[in-house]
């Protein structure tokens, strides 16, 4: 019998129907207890103090105070893991991604039909459990030790590392992430110079949100970012993100990597799956020319694929525990020997731009980098 305390959840939503359905869905799981419900942020504020929930589910469009304003105040004053329930609209998608930037742990599209809530029930339960394991980030950034990679002269990052790899058409950068990954990708993409090899990304995210995520990341720096389309060709200086609810595969044609986007079966309950992207590159012979890493996320997706890449000559890494919102996927990649390096999130972009990431390393897994 499981003696662990239940995950206490506060549901914040102005819709009585959504509150009822969310309560029924979550209460049916033996590991979750619905501690209470609130119809707006003001009531939520009082119930957070009275009930001390472990996780909050939060609607973003509510009366008296919108969810984004409430989330900003919450993360500033009393960080609690938040799962956002957002409407499946372009506006809702933009709000949801802003919520992730502000510190929400997970986001889930809210169904519009009265009888369709059951379709997202298992996802809601899984995301609440993931959120309960997360470490929400406070608004004040922790002081960081000097970083020799980040301190490298700009000419080194932009010239010697980039020029030496741009000529190789088989060179690739592969990234996989899940819970907490939107903010992690934001930091990585913003820190990359232009001219790097093509980048392929799998982020576990609902279908309606992946295009907006690509558009947001595209505004951060010289790397061009967009959602992948079936039949695309990988190009230097461009990052392709797997569309939500579709797997992403890369295949070497003899001259370039061709992109396949497919809606096959979920792997590790995920579509897109990191493992499938990684294994497709390994099976295409691209591993010796590849740098691949797993960022924050719950579960084990990506660990098997990263191990296959390493065994075939890739340079591999995983995000460290201290900077991961959820240290599940990175832990799995370290424990199975797939990750050669363990990196805090602030060192990922410099690592990808350095010559060390261009040359596969041999031998047993390296010790984690010190911060």
CA distance 196 to 139: 31
- Please pick, among 40, 86, 93, 204, the residue that the annotation labels catalytic: 204
Q: Is 341 an annotated catalytic residue?
A: no
CA distance 85 to 62: 12
Tell me if 225 sits within 8 A of 213, measured CB to CB. Answer: no
Q: What are phi and psi of 212, to 5 degrees?
A: -65, -35
DSSP-based three-state secondary structure for 23: helix
Q: Which long-range contacts (CB under 8 A, 24 or more apart) does 213-217 make?
A: 213/97, 213/182, 213/185, 213/241, 214/241, 216/97, 216/186, 217/185, 217/186, 217/189, 217/241
Q: Is 204 an annotated catalytic residue?
A: yes
CA distance 167 to 144: 35
Tell me if 204 sits within 8 A of 322, measured CB to CB. Answer: no
- Please pick, among 178, 210, 284, 324, the residue that the annotation labels catalytic: 178
- Please pick, among 301, 320, 324, 341, the residue that the annotation labels catalytic: 301
Q: Is 29 an annotated catalytic residue?
A: no
DSSP 358: G
Structure-block tokens of residue 334? 């370290």
Tally the residues of the chain.
371
Which residues carry out catalysis? 178, 204, 301
């Amino acid at each position: 019998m499981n003696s662990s305390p239940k995950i206490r959840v506060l549901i914040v939503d102005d819709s009585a129907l959504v509150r009822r359905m969310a309560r029924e869905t979550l209460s049916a799981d033996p590991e979750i207890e619905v501690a209470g419900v609130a119809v707006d942020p003001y009531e939520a504020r009082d119930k957070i103090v009275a009930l001390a929930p472990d996780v909050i589910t939060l609607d973003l469009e509510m009366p008296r105070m919108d969810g984004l304003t409430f989330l900003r105040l919450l993360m500033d004053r009393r960080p609690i893991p938040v799962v956002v329930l957002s409407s499946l609209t372009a506006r809702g998608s933009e709000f949801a991604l802003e919520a992730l930037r502000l510190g929400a742990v997970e986001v889930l599209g809210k169904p519009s039909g009265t009888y369709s809530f059951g379709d997202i029930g298992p996802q809601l339960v899984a995301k609440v459990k993931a959120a309960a394991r997360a470490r929400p980030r406070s608004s004040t950034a922790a002081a960081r030790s000097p970083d020799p990679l980040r301190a490298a002269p700009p000419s080194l990052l932009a010239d010697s590392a980039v020029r030496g790899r741009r000529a190789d058409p088989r060179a690739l950068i592969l990234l996989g992430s899940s819970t907490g990954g939107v903010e992690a990708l934001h930091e990585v993409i913003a820190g990359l110079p232009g001219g790097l090899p093509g980048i392929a990304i799998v982020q576990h995210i609902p279908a309606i949100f992946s295009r907006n995520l690509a558009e947001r990341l595209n505004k951060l720096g010289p790397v061009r970012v967009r959602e992948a389309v079936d039949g695309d060709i990988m190009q230097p200086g461009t990052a392709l993100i797997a569309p939500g609810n579709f797997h992403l595969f890369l295949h070497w044609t003899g001259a370039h990597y061709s992109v396949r986007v497919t809606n096959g079966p979920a792997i590790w309950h995920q579509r897109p799956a990191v493992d499938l992207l990684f294994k497709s590159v390994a099976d295409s012979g691209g591993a010796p020319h590849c740098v691949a890493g797993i960022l924050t996320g719950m579960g084990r997706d990506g660990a098997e694929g990263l191990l296959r890449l390493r065994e075939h000559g890739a340079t591999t890494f995983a995000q460290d525990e201290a900077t991961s919102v959820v240290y599940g996927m990175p832990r799995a990649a370290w424990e199975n020997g797939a990750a050669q390096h363990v990196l805090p999130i602030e060192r990922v972009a410099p690592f990808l731009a350095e010559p060390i990431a261009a040359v596969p390393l041999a031998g047993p897994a390296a010790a984690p980098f010190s911060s």
